[in-house]
Amino acid sequence: MQIRTLDEEFALARLDARAAVPDWIGGRDLIAVVRTRDELSIVCRSDAVPSSVTNVQRGFRGLAVVGTLDFGMTGVIAGLTRPLADAGIPIFSISTFDTDYMLIRGDRLDAAKAALVSAGFDVLP
């Protein structure tokens, strides 16, 4: 399985559950908006999040599984996260219709890539 490194730096922002989806969301590699009854979570390019947003974590980098994953596949996330967990690297995981993404603190990106390579993954730059 090939994993590619996303170019952008990401932020994770938490807004009130009743907030409108803001117009400042930006990015080309990945944008995610998830609303629950408790929160509105936004993942987007870090520099798109205004300084007025107080509940935000910045400095994430992304890894993405290359290609489309069949819905019948099992263990994809487990296979990706086990070597990272064994290396003590926390992740924020996002799945889309086509594939899976992992956000990792930027200062842990090289260690995450090394752990995935050691586990047999082909990690692209």
| Domains present along the chain, CATH in parentheses | 2-119 (3.30.2130.10)
Tens of pLDDT, residues 45-98: 999 999 999 999 999 999 998 766 665 655 677 888 999 999 999 999 999 888
Q: Tokens 């752990």 appear where?
A: 115
Identify the pLDDT of residue 57: 97
Distance CA 82, CA 9 (A): 24
Percent of the chain with pLDDT over 90: 80
φ/ψ (deg, to 5) at 90: -75, 150
Contact present, 65 and 116 (Cβ < 8 Å): no
Cβ atoms of 27 and 48 within 8 Å: the answer is yes
pTM of the predicted protein model: 0.89
Tell me the C-alpha distance between 10 and 70, whole Å: 27
Could you tell me the two tokens for 120? 């047999």
Mapping DSSP to helix (H, G, I), strand (E, B) and coil, where does residue 107 land? Answer: helix
C-alpha atoms less than 13 angstroms from C-alpha of 119 in its C-beta half-sphere: 21
Classify strands 56-65 and 92-95 as parallel, antiparallel or unpaired: unpaired
